[in-house]
Amino acid sequence: MVLFLCFLFFLFSSATACDRCVHQTKVAYFSQASALSSGACGYGSLALSFNGGHLAAGVPSLYKDGAGCGACFQMRCKNPTLCSGRGTRVILTDLNHSNQTDFVISSRAFMALSNQGKGQDILKLGVVDVEYKRVPCEYKNQNLAVRVEESSQKPNYLAVKVLYQGGQTEMVAMDVAQVGSSNWGYMSRNYGAVWDTSRVPNGALQFRFVVTSGYDGKWIWAKNVLPADWKPGMIYNSGVQITDIAKEGCSESECGDGSWK
């Protein structure tokens, strides 16, 4: 138990970087959003339905070995002639291997940085200076869900993809058990938003997750998620929503003014 608590402390402390602070960087774009949907988070074609196709690949410090998958960021470019003051919101769906920019975003999101009628002008630049900060993801009519991956084979292997993770959180651990049982087995992050286990309980399945938000973290229980006859390729509603916001201290200048809300 002591070792487990120390492990959780390490996970929480690793998430204490100032998520809500405003950061400065450059942003480039992919001409096709499909390049971001086939990326390191594993969302596949589902990503194209996220956030109106406003998607982003983030550098390793934002991708966080997959824990950053699904994180939402508000960004606005700094050219007063071309750029709107509101900017746009993007969802992280891929890993950006470039050290030239913190993000590479979809062309749709890139155009949304501009003032009305200036979308083509900003595309011609290719790269722009921006400021950005992490913001909560909102799925008002959608609970946290899991998709059973096609590689799953009952009863020897189960892989699930976590979808619609709300709030300003990172999922750092996931367990599975038969519904009604307290015999929990841990799952491992395979890559991105995909978790798996070769120890698949019988019957209907429940999950529990450790999510962190800033310097805080907690368990979330989803008590009846997969039916006994779960099938690969299907998406299952967890029945829970995550709405936690990062708990961290930052000044108004670090976190941005009210126009960032």
Cβ-contact 54, 109 below 8 angstroms: yes
Q: How confident is the model at residue 168 (pLDDT cuts 50, 70, 90)?
A: very high
Q: Where in the chain is the domain with CATH 2.40.40.10?
A: 23-135
- CATH entry 1.10.287.180 includes domain 144-240: no
Q: Where in the chain is the domain with CATH 2.60.40.760?
A: 144-240
The C-alpha atoms of residue 174 and residue 158 are separated, in whole angstroms, by 13
Q: 6-36: per-residue pLDDT in tens?
A: 444 444 444 445 666 899 999 999 987 666 6
DSSP 8-class letter at 133: E
CATH number of 23-135: 2.40.40.10
* Bridging pattern class, strands 103-106 and 23-30: parallel
Mean pLDDT of all residues in 159-188:
96
Q: 176-219: per-residue pLDDT in tens?
A: 999 999 999 999 999 999 999 999 999 999 999 999 976 678 99
Q: Is the pLDDT at 248 greater than 70, yes or no? A: no
Cβ-contact 147, 163 below 8 angstroms: yes
Of residues 5 and 187, more confidence is placed in 187
Q: Classify the C-alpha dihedral 1-191-40-52 as positive or negative.
A: negative
Q: 67-94: per-residue pLDDT in tens?
A: 999 999 999 999 989 999 999 999 999 9
